[in-house]
Structure 1
Amino acid sequence: MKIAIHGRNFNESARPFIENMFNELKQRKIEVQLSKQFRVFLDQIGIQHYSELVYERPEELFDAKLIVSMGGDGTLLETVSHVGRRVIPAVGINTGRLGFLATVPPERIADMITALETNEFRVDERTLVAIESNLDLFDGLNFGLNDFTITKTDTSSMITVHTYLNHEFLNSYWADGLIVSTPTGSTGYSLSCGGPVLMPHSQNFIITPISPHNLNVRPLIVEDTAVIRLEVKSRSNNFLVSLDARSTIVDENTQLTVKKADFTAKLIKMKDDSFLNTLRSKLSWGLDMRN
């Protein structure tokens, strides 16, 4: 079996579990390819990884059965961008903080490896959001698992986002910005701006304004077959666009269309991994601080 691994730095408390993971992979003769970023970090902290195979660009990934993300949710978003249209299933080991996407704790790495070898897992397909523009905004990586966001670049004036839904005018959002979120991203930035939580396989997008000037403007759920066109006006004549962890500043002549990508992301989940359990745990639902 061949696997790829991408990661970031992690807390020292996770070190013994990571070391044990590489020992397990070596003993089971599993071929491993590391992202260059993660390989450099492992070498710096002196973890023996037993792998000479490295990829620096997504096209250098070998024919892996799956890819492991070692970090938090942000690392998993990066990992999905590495995979792209090859749709290699990804599994997230949570050495970060929140962990809505990266749900395997470090102490269960050995269980995860066994499950992967014996196919005792499920593959969860997630919708991606895609961006079309007259510019190459994200070096060809025009898709995201969580959300596409427009925000102002200065600290004073708001921007105006004229929004069209399936070629029909929807609204002019006078706000600090606007988020178009997938169901997966509903527990991310959109949630912090008052957006609803969607079940992962809901066939919808969420349009969420960021600090809107008109308080009667609220998040809107639309079908994911919708085509969303955005025109932005700003006093500074520019604005910031973000797609998951990637961002760039563009001028207000930039054309932007948001729609569902024509491929999905595949996330590996352990059989006892439940989205509802994750919601209760991460959002502390039902927790009474008085007790």
Structure 2
Amino acid sequence: MQIAIYSRGFVKEDLPIIQLLLDELERAEINAIIYAPFSESLQPYIRFSKPLVTFSCAEDLYGKADILVSLGGDGTLLDTVCYVRDKNIPVLGINFGRLGFLASIGKDAINAAVQALKQRTYVADKRSLLHLDSNVGLFGEVPYALNDFTIHKKDTSAMVKIHTYLNGEFLNTYWADGLIVSTPTGSTGYSLSCGGPVVFPEAGSFVITPVAPHNLNVRPVIIPDNHVLSFEVEGRSDQFLCTLDSRMETIDSTVQLAIKKEEFSISLVRLDDSNFLHTLRNKLLWGIDARNALK
């Protein structure tokens, strides 16, 4: 088995965990391919028992990596979408960050994670993506997102008007700071912080959530993900922001935007003893109430 390891960087407190991961992989006879900038930053601090094999782009992984391991928080894991693309390489997230909805495997579970990889006892959950079409070719070769798509005002400019259509039929004009379209996976991210609902990953839906809407009767809406959403944006400013996960482009009112479900999905790896309900309880502290102890 060969796994790829991706990370944006590290803090020195995490170096023993990274060393442990590499040592455990070697003991399990699992070969590692390390993201090149990450491997360069590690070399002064980490013992490598064999010559390094690295990758720098998506093409370097095709046919070489069975699984990609993300070391970091949810933002780091979202980066991996640009590397696995449509090649069906599952992603396992080890949480070096804070909340960790997607990168849900803790540092204390390194040994268990490596054994699950070796014995192939992990579970790979399919997660849907959303796809962006535009008339100006935004986001190059990766016009898709695992979490969400957003339109947002730029800097401190006035609110924007986002004319929104569902399968070509007018839905609403959102007078707001912005608008979020999230997948079920992304429902626990930016959308949740703006009042959107929690949606189970297997639900075939998109969530439309306004950001600080000027009309107080506007609420998040859940729609089937076989629908197509399209948008026209206008405002006092000439420029607006458009994002896919953590990637950002600047657009103007001449840009036409449409969101639909991507044709392929990606797989997120979890251990057998973990599932979405377990993550909700741990990350949102559901059920952590002193009154429950009285039962």
Tell me the TM-score normalised to structure 2 length: 0.94
Distance 1:157 1:17 in 2: 46
Distance 2:7 2:124 in 1: 21
Distance 2:160 2:41 in 1: 40
Runs of 4+ in 1 over 6 A off after TM superposition: none
Describe the SS at the equivalent of 2:111.
helix
Q: Deviations over 1:27-86 (max 9, x none)?
A: 333221111232123125x12244521111111224211110000111110012211011
Q: Which residue does the alignment assign to 2:46?
A: 47
Letter paired with 1:61? L
Contact persistence 1:11–1:95 (CA under 8 A): no
Give the deviation of 1:103 after TM superposition.
Answer: 1.0
Give the deviation of 1:287 after TM superposition.
Answer: 2.9
Q: Which residue does the alignment assign to 1:166?
A: 167
Q: Which moved more, 1:109-118 or 1:202-211?
A: 109-118
Q: Which residue does the alignment assign to 2:14?
A: 14
Distance 2:257 2:67 in 1: 33
Q: Deviations over 1:172-200 (max 9, x none)?
A: 00100000000000000000000000011
Q: Which moved more, 1:204-213 or 1:59-68?
A: 59-68
Give the deviation of 1:275 after TM superposition.
Answer: 1.0
Letter paired with 2:24? E
Letter paired with 2:20? N
Is 1:83–2:109 an aligned residue pair?
no
Contact persistence 1:10–1:96 (CA under 8 A): no
- The 5 Å alignment of 1:83-162 reads 83-162=84-163
Give the deviation of 1:25 after TM superposition.
Answer: 1.8
Give the deviation of 1:11 after TM superposition.
Answer: 4.2
Letter paired with 2:37? Q
- The 5 Å alignment of 1:264-279 reads 264-279=265-280
- The 5 Å alignment of 1:156-195 reads 156-195=157-196
Q: Deviations over 1:215-259 (max 9, x none)?
A: 000000000001000110021121000100100111111110000
Contact persistence 1:186–1:197 (CA under 8 A): yes
Letter paired with 1:92? G
Describe the SS at the equivalent of 1:26.
helix
Distance 2:270 2:28 in 1: 21
Q: Deviations over 1:122-162 (max 9, x none)?
A: 11000001100112221211011000001001314110000
Contact persistence 1:34–1:51 (CA under 8 A): no
Q: Deviations over 1:79-131 (max 9, x none)?
A: 12211011200100001101101111112111111111111111100000110
Q: Number of aligned pairs?
A: 290
Long gaps (5+) in structure 1: none
Distance 2:20 2:92 in 1: 17
Letter paired with 1:133? S
Q: Judging changes above 3 Å, is the alpha-carbon distance between structure 1 residues 235 and 269 closer, same or farther for their aligned structure 2 residues?
A: same
Distance 2:194 2:29 in 1: 47
Describe the SS at the equivalent of 2:231.
strand
Contact persistence 1:164–1:230 (CA under 8 A): yes
Distance 1:13 1:177 in 2: 37
Give the deviation of 1:18 after TM superposition.
Answer: 1.6
Is 1:3–2:8 an aligned residue pair?
no
Q: Kindly report the root-mean-square deviation, in angstroms, between the aligned alpha carbons of the 2 structures.
A: 1.6
Describe the SS at the equivalent of 1:85.
coil
Distance 1:176 1:87 in 2: 36
Distance 2:11 2:105 in 1: 15
Letter paired with 2:99? L
Contact persistence 1:14–1:106 (CA under 8 A): no
Contact persistence 1:133–1:256 (CA under 8 A): yes
